[in-house]
Amino acid sequence: MKPTRTALLIILVAGINLPAFADTVVSYTIDPSHSQVRFSWLHAGFSHPGAAFRQVTGIIQGDQDNPEKSSVDVSIAVNSLDTYVPVLDDRLLNSGDYFKTKEFPTITFKSTGMTDVDKVKRTFKLQGVLTVNGISKPVVLNARANLVAGDLFYDGAPAAGFDASTTLIRSDYGMGKFAPMVSDELAVTITVEAIESKMYAKKQAEWNKLGN
């Protein structure tokens, strides 16, 4: 089973209990086949088209006892963008008016901290730096831990799932053409499933052998 879909990036929230796992700090690999990073915009006041990135990689270092020391490091291949409209894909990727794909082929997100942890609701805010077109800006993700538990598909290895959202201003990253007729704001939604890194690598190697 090879990863085929996108993914992005979140962090292990404080207060989630993992009594079955001895390690306080767990390295997780984002599973692209069960993760997506999507964004949408308002088109001339009429509709909200959307798009997704299909090639996202990342590592989450989750520290259960000291969540402020946890971290997220994610890379997104710009040319994996899919708007579901080939002509629009070409315009966004190759016109030079939006993504500077050749010069800056990768989008990155690196976390810088976590605040507003609610152990009951399992919510938190994840601060980080997003770099697009070589331009770096601070962003805040409103995040929620869906589940942290053993994953039966990975022999019970630790796994974690999160949802998150934020709003970005595309002109901040040199992509302001046609704003405000086409909204400058992008609504971003993220869903992430991540597996303990050693087991993830082991299982991917096994599944790749079966596929050959």
Looking at per-residue confidence, does 19 or 33 come out higher? Answer: 33
**What domains can be seen in the chain, in order of their start residue?**
25-211 (2.40.128.110)
3-state DSSP helix/strand/coil % of the chain, to nearest 5 = 20, 45, 35
d(CA 168, CA 195): 28
d(CA 176, CA 147): 37
Mean pLDDT value across the chain: 87
pLDDT of residue 69: 80
d(CA 161, CA 98): 31
CB atoms within 10 A of CB 176: 15
What percent of the chain is predicted at pLDDT more than 90? 72
Rounded mean pLDDT, 174-198: 96
pLDDT of residue 122: 87
pLDDT digit string (tens) for 45-61? Answer: 999 999 999 888 899 99
pLDDT of residue 22: 43
Whether 23 has a pLDDT exceeding 50, the answer reads no
Rounded mean pLDDT, 81-97: 96
Q: Name the phi and psi angles at 44, rounded to 5.
A: 55, 25
Q: Cα-Cα-Cα-Cα dihedral of 79, 5, 189, 151, to 10°?
A: -150
pLDDT of residue 212: 59
| CA dist 105 → 92, 100, 134, 180 (Å) | 13, 7, 9, 26
Q: For residue 74, is it left (φ>0), alpha (ψ between -120 and 50) or beta? A: beta
Whether 160 has a pLDDT exceeding 50, the answer reads yes
pLDDT digit string (tens) for 99-148? Answer: 999 999 999 999 999 999 888 898 999 999 999 999 999 999 999 989 98
